A = this chain, B = another copy of it.
Amino acid sequence: MRFLHTADWHIGRRLHGYDLTDEQQAAFQQIEQLALTEKVDGVIIAGDLYDRSMPAESSVAQLNQMLQQLNLVDKLPIYAISGNHDSAIRLATGTPWFKSTRFYMHTKLAQAFQPIELPDTQVFLLPYFEPFDAQQYFNDDQLQHLDQAFVPIVKKMVSLFDPAKKHLLVSHFFVDGSSTTDSETQLKVGGLAAVPVGLLESFDYVALGHLHGKDALHAPNARYSGSPVKFSLSEANQKKGVFIVDTDPFNLTFRPLTPIRDVQQLTEDFATLIDPHFYKALNLDNYFGITLNDRQPIPNAMPRLRDIYPHIISLDRANGYDTEIEDSGESGDQIRQKDPMDLLGDFYRQVAKDDLSPQQIKWAKEALKIANDGGKRS
């Protein structure tokens, strides 16, 4: 059988204040088209459908429309679970009815042991859970950590295996360790709450959600699909997309998605950034994280860059600021007795390496007059 594996849609998420609704909608439409053209037998969504446990109405409307489109219009089966960002209770609304059109949304640990029986495949949908849920379910308060809880969970699933079928697991958590046969990416992911990848070896494929990069784990039988959209500058170099998973023979194909606006990091001198020869080669509509190599003050840097790059999501310095102020040799008492306009002129010269312009002097004098008049404007 053939599945499309996606996860971490995070509907409602914003990128440094920018609304991502259109970006997420565009990614969804590509996922939908891929599912149709690849003629998949179902779409796997491995958790974190929403960005928040209490999503805004606009997010609810958007996700509802997406799921209706896939399942009711396109007639695609959906295999979904709740992630740690979702409210399992809210996401459970309507789920008993969804099954009638092969839309399976599991939100409770107990449902992980009710595999979806397909002609040649069993699909186990294990939603995000806390160790406490496992303690309750197995009546065993020794299950303090996720890796401990996974032992009886996998054991119970294996006991339900139909040996004539392939076995798929859909889950949402940190997996510790990656295949040592994969030289391309040797990532160790997660920490305390991580589950050893070895615990997952009973499954033909484990469709994971939680980490947003498709390369977070390279195990022979387990992958994160990653999010369909870049959600932070740290994801600038990630390639976003979905996996097309064939179960027999097993085959994994990554299919990239094209963003409306990519997220891009620029580390350059200011002079380069405002040089048309440089920026005309870029898609200026992208989201840019800009890091300046310059150390000196640059007046109005942000507005000047925004004129060229309208969607700047961060601006910082690679080498810090040139903040050395030359010692004028004057004492505190001497400085305090200087004319305020002279003081301002000295300060501006030190910081901006330039004299105040006649217009700046006029503004400063007006401001000083207002201050001396007790704040009253004429």
Contact = CB atoms under 8 A, between A and B. Distances in A.
Interface string A157-194: 00000000000000000000000000000000000000
A101 B97 contact: yes
A333 interface: no
Interface string A88-99: 011011111110
Contacts of A68: 96
A291 interface: no
Contacts of A94: 93-95, 97-98
B96 A93 contact: no
Contact of A100 (B57, B87, B93, B97): B97
Interface in A90-118: 90, 92-98, 100-101, 103
A90 B61 CA distance: 8
A60 B93 contact: yes
Number of copies: 2
Contacts of A97: 72, 94, 97-98, 100-101, 103
From A53, A60, A103, name the one whose CB has the most chain B CB atoms within 10 angstroms: A60
Contacts of A92: 61, 64
Contacts of A95: 94
Nearest to A89: B57
A54 interface: yes
A200 to B, nearest CB: 30
Contact of A93 (B72, B87, B93): B93
Nearest to A100: B100
A85 to B, nearest CB: 14
A93 B61 CA distance: 8
A34 B201 CA distance: 53
Nearest to A58: B89
A67 B89 CA distance: 15
Interface of A: 53-54, 57, 60-61, 64, 68, 72, 87, 89-90, 92-98, 100-101, 103
22 contacts: A53-B57, A54-B54, A57-B87, A57-B90, A60-B90, A60-B93, A61-B92, A64-B92, A64-B93, A68-B96, A72-B96, A72-B97, A93-B93, A93-B94, A94-B94, A94-B97, A94-B98, A97-B97, A97-B98, A97-B101, A97-B103, A100-B100
